[in-house]
Structure 1
Amino acid sequence: MLKGKKILLGITGSIAAYKSILLVRLLVQAGAEVKVVMTPAATDFVSKLTLATLSKNKVLVELADEATWSNHVMLGRWADVMLVAPASCNTLAKMAAGICDNLLQATYLSATCPVVVSPAMDEDMWHHASTQRNLSMLREAGNAVIPVGKGELASGLYGEGRMAEPEHIIEYLEENFFRGSNLKDTLCLVTAGPTYEAIDPVRFIGNHSSGKMGIAVANELYMNGAQVHLVLGPVESSNIRSGIKVTKVNTAEEMYNACASAFPATKLAVMAAAVADYTCKEVAPCKIKKSEGHLNLELEKSKDILASLGAVKKEDQFLVGFALETNNEEENALKKLASKNADLIVLNSMRDEAAGFKKDTNKVTIFDREQKRISYEAKEKHLVAKDIVELIIQKLHAKA
């Protein structure tokens, strides 16, 4: 999402300036063009040479350097986004007051692009009324403020005021300024992860799904401009884009209810969850104790979420299912495509080394309603998600 974007990074006098080294590297790796402006105080914390080497651009500090004038007006017009990270307490005050006593301030006051600040300071400074007033003034002026983190501070104290980690800053820029528009405002429903069907209060029937594939699809839909509602089974959810609505569930029944409620309003539904096909007919109220002989569990079919959505799907809705198979893969996937009234079926086979539960890679074959077969090479799941969403967008545009 940052490929070809122009990022003007302002660095101020804070110990957190060391993070700007990684930030520049990540921005460049993401394909952004980066120019760096530093306050004189910032050069005490990180070197111009390091930042110039990583950004592949001259680092600017002074308004005039010998016979050369740094054109702050053009810098502010060149950038797609101006990011001040770290933004010290002093610089925040200057920005709020409109003080123009260095190149960074002159560039900020000339900028026609969006401006984002990532504050960094000690906890008492962060909570001081003056700082909070300055932040309010910056927000009122149309600037964005990246939330600070909580943790160990340079003073040795533990609390709020840490500059956001570079990875989080990248995500913030992508989500708030560089989302695509192919699916702008399209309401999407995605399921991910396993379901756990209780046997007793401590045991359950489940599977090894990590939810990674479904989460990757939800993220990719969101980054293409969609409004995404993710119904997530009992898995780790730390890498979900912050703008995605998440409903956490445990059982197939809970997932069914969440999907049945959300589906009528959605344009697109992607059912990537590994939902249990069977659930216990009766759940023991207490832990079942080990005893001699066998333990027999009576199972009954759980509700088929994909089939139920396919049965009520309207003409303007688009439904995508997933099929994880161990044998007769294509035959089973095509049967599922027809019987569930889906528009696409994404097939992956447990016999492919790159596919399967808990892996970071996947290899898929997708079938459309005309049974056309589209195969993809094995790749990381976030790249697989790009392939899936790209095909969905093509189908939606063809259908429109």
Structure 2
Amino acid sequence: MSKINLLTGKRILLGVTGSIACYKAVDLASKLTQAGAEVDVILTEGAQRFVMPLTFRSVTGRPSYTDMWSLDDHVRHVGLGETADLFVIAPATAHTMAKLATGLADNLLTVTALAARCPILIAPAMDGGMYGHPATQANVATLRERGVQFAGPAVGRMASGLAGLGRMVEPAELLGFIRQAVAQGGPLAGRKVVVSTGPTREPLDPVRFISNRSTGKQGLAVAQAALDAGADVTVVHGPISEPIPFGATAVPVQTTEQMGEAVLSAAKDADVLFMVAAVADFRPNTQSDKKIKKTDEQWGLAIGLEVTLDILTAVKTERDKSGYPRIVLGFAAETHNAFEYGRDKLLRKGLNFIAVNDVTDQGAGFAVDTNKVLLLSSAGVVEEMPMQSKTAVAERLVHHVANSLNGSAH
């Protein structure tokens, strides 16, 4: 059973140069290892003045390399450079970037960079006005022309106490850059994907609203899985507490009507729409512009409701005219007769797939990290997914959609 498990088994070569930001490289190596990557580290002489090779070995469980002349294998740089899936240099000092731009190869890191056959990602780190200096900018331009990718630098306070452009990006953000670099050429590369997620809120007055228990966790997992498959991802989201995956375009909304407008706009030329959001089906037919008081007899205890926009029906109408989005996967959160309701929704709304989950199953409802999903198409059951992480569910959904879009059998 194929899965899009992006970093598991990937060989990441991490080059570390002499900057105080070396401590961030240790955190990055740990995060990569926890994500399943095999991380080999090369430290320059300057880097070893800030952090010991043993520190990296402790978090990666793999050797750290320093001096190419003391290695038993005198062509170690060739082996490291040709077997890596990605070469990340973080932190990268102005000095090392100058060497890379001019092709100098006087240490294990720079000679390995020349031998590398994989993409190279650089995270600059330097103080003062060094990054903006014409010499550094010329080196950056040269490296970019050769296909080297850059993560940052960021603006912030530096070791000297100055503030400006030159800080190494934080490890969590750099991990996002790495995922993007590794995802290039994935099954959804060059595809535009729209994901809706989270709840919508229908206001009753300035302080109250009608909503539901959705947290957006499953939709965010789908967005990350689509990014990991190489897609260009737009996330239309209601109020959620977790961050949008790095690399996705975020479109925040509040009401069902706003979400409908945003989804229709984003999906008009999309290859795939994952409609994961738990939109409010009803809204108050009257809104107060002031907070309703308990003593307000005009409102009493009765709240009149009206039906909100049916987003998937609106998508079907536009899709029948334009052919976009090419693939639509909907969700059906049910409490009973899940299969019957899900199949009916699939057919009525012209979906390619529908992911049905019974939210009464323990561990498969809202605000949890697991889910249990039945994936249906017009041909019947595509896959019955047992209880597992929402990340794993998302990977399976993206796998099936990618196969369908690319013309493969399920």
Change (3 A) 1:292 1:330: same
Contact 1:17–1:42, Cα closer than 8 Å, also in 2: yes
Determine helix, strand or coil for the equivalent of 2:166.
Answer: strand
Assess if the C-alpha contact under 8 Å between 1:64 and 1:70 holds in 2.
no
- After TM superposition, the structure 1 stretch with the greater mean CA deviation from structure 2, 121-130 or 380-389, is 121-130
| Contact 2:183 2:227 survives alignment (8 Å) | no
How far the C-alpha of 1:295 sits from its partner, in A, is: 4.2
Distance 1:222 1:23, change over 3 A: closer
What amino acid is the match of 2:17?
T
- Pairs aligned (count): 399
CA distance in 1, matches of 2:213, 2:155: 33
Determine whether 1:383 maps to 2:395.
no
* Residue among 186, 195, 211 paired with 1:190: 195
Structure 2-normalised TM-score? Answer: 0.86
CA-to-aligned-CA distance 1:305-356 (integer Å, 9 cap, x gap):
1223234544783322111122333332233223222222212222112122
Worse overlay, 18-27 or 345-354: 18-27
CA distance in 2, matches of 1:68, 1:348: 55
Aligned ranges for residues 71-150 of structure 1 at < 5 Å? 71-150=76-155
Query: Which residue does the alignment assign to 1:266?
Result: 270
RMSD over equivalenced CA pairs, Å = 2.8
* Alpha-carbon offset, residue 48 of structure 1: 1.9
Q: Does 1:245 align with 2:245?
A: no
Q: Which runs of 5+ in 1 are unaligned?
A: none
| Conserved? CA contact 1:360–1:381, under 8 Å | yes
Gaps of 5+ in 2: 1-5
Residue among 310, 335, 349 paired with 2:316? 310
Partner residue, 1:322: 331
Determine which of 252, 259, 272 is the counterpart of 1:255: 259
8 Å CA contact 1:13, 1:42 repeated in 2 = yes
Q: Is residue 171 from structure 1 mapped to residue 180 from structure 2 by the alignment?
A: no
Q: Note the 1:192-341 alignment, pairs <5 A.
A: 192-236=197-241, 238-242=243-247, 244-293=248-297, 294-314=300-320, 317-341=326-350
Q: Which amino acid aligns with 2:395?
A: K
Alpha-carbon distance, 1:273 to partner: 0.7
How far did residue 99 of structure 1 move? 3.6
| 1:192 to partner: Cα distance | 0.9
Q: Say which SS state the counterpart of residue 329 (structure 2) adopts.
A: strand
Pairwise CA distance, 1:160: 4.3
How far the C-alpha of 1:74 sits from its partner, in A, is: 4.5
- Percent identity, aligned pairs only? 38
Deviation track 1:138-159 (CA, whole Å, cap 9, x = no partner) reads 3234322211234554345555
C-alpha distance in structure 1 between counterparts of 2:307 and 2:149, whole Å: 50
Change over 3 Å in CA distance of 1:45–1:355 after alignment to 2:
same
- Equivalent pair of 1:60/1:70 in contact (CA under 8 Å): no
User: Is residue 349 of structure 2 the alignment partner of residue 343 of structure 1?
Assistant: no
Q: 1:222 to 1:48 in 2, by over 3 A?
A: closer
- Flag the 1:60–1:350 CA change in 2: closer, same or farther, 3 A: closer
Query: For the residues of structure 1 that align with 2:401 and 2:117, how far apart are their CA atoms?
Result: 36
